[in-house]
């Protein structure tokens, strides 16, 4: 069994290209495949869809009980749909600061995965818990990191 966690940008310039790149990256992973995600908008939800399309199973780590309320309507619909399709859904213990919630969720994913798939533009991060930070944390642990080009638009991480 191979557990692949995801980190990636919420805003992608070409979601179809990102989906294809995620599919190509996951095609090389040994089976059975388990995808681990927080189901954030953008790359995380694309990743989860591809894992399920490839016959893998999905495990979800939710940063806080209020997390879905931070998502816009389309992302919340995707979140709800993917949670319903997941093999497991776990809500992490409360942490007062939102950035700290994202760091805790990222660390929990790194604790459980064999490889991190990063849908990333390669640019420096904008804060703790973001894509660049999770890539750095995974590399510091010696975890393999597969980078998929993000093709970002002008939106925030």
Q: Which domains does the chain have, with CATH numbers?
A: 2-149 (3.40.50.450)
Task: Report the Cα 50 to chain-centroid distance in Å.
Answer: 12
Residues 6+ positions from 78 with CB-CB distance below 8 Å = 39, 41, 45
Q: Are 29 and 4 in contact (CB under 8 A)?
A: yes
- Which residues on neighbouring strands pair with residue 60, listed in sequence order? 37, 89
Task: State the Cα–Cα distance between residues 13 and 8, nearest whole angstrom.
Answer: 13
- pLDDT value at position 152? 56
Task: State the Cα–Cα distance between residues 97 and 55, nearest whole angstrom.
Answer: 36
- pLDDT value at position 126? 81
Task: State the Cα–Cα distance between residues 115 and 109, nearest whole angstrom.
Answer: 10
Please give the C-alpha separations between residue 46 and each of 5, 31, 97, 126, 128, in angstroms, as whole numbers.
13, 19, 26, 22, 22
Say if residue 63 is exposed, middle or buried (CB neighbours under 10 Å; 0-12, 13-18, 19+).
buried
- pLDDT value at position 32? 97
Q: Are 108 and 95 in contact (CB under 8 A)?
A: no
Tokens of 146: 């597969």
| Tens of each residue's pLDDT in the chain, 157 residues | 999 999 999 989 899 999 999 999 999 899 999 999 999 999 999 999 999 999 999 999 999 999 999 999 999 999 999 999 999 999 999 888 888 999 999 999 999 999 999 999 999 888 899 999 999 999 999 999 999 988 655 444 4
């Amino acid at each position: 069994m191979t557990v692949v966690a995801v980190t990636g940008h919420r805003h992608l310039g070409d979601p179809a290209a990102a989906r294809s790149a995620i599919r190509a990256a996951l095609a090389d992973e040994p089976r059975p495949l388990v995808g681990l995600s927080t189901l954030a908008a953008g790359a995380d939800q694309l990743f989860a869809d591809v894992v399920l399309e490839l016959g893998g199973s999905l495990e979800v780590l939710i940063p806080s009980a209020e997390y879905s309320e931070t998502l816009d309507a389309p992302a919340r619909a995707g979140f709800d749909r993917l949670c319903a399709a997941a093999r497991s859904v776990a809500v992490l213990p409360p942490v007062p600061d939102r950035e700290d919630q994202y760091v805790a969720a990222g660390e929990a994913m790194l604790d459980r995965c064999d490889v991190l798939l990063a849908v990333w533009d390669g640019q420096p991060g904008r804060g703790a818990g973001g894509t660049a930070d999770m890539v750095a944390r995974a590399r510091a642990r010696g975890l393999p990191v597969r980078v998929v080009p993000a093709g970002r638009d002008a939106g925030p991480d």
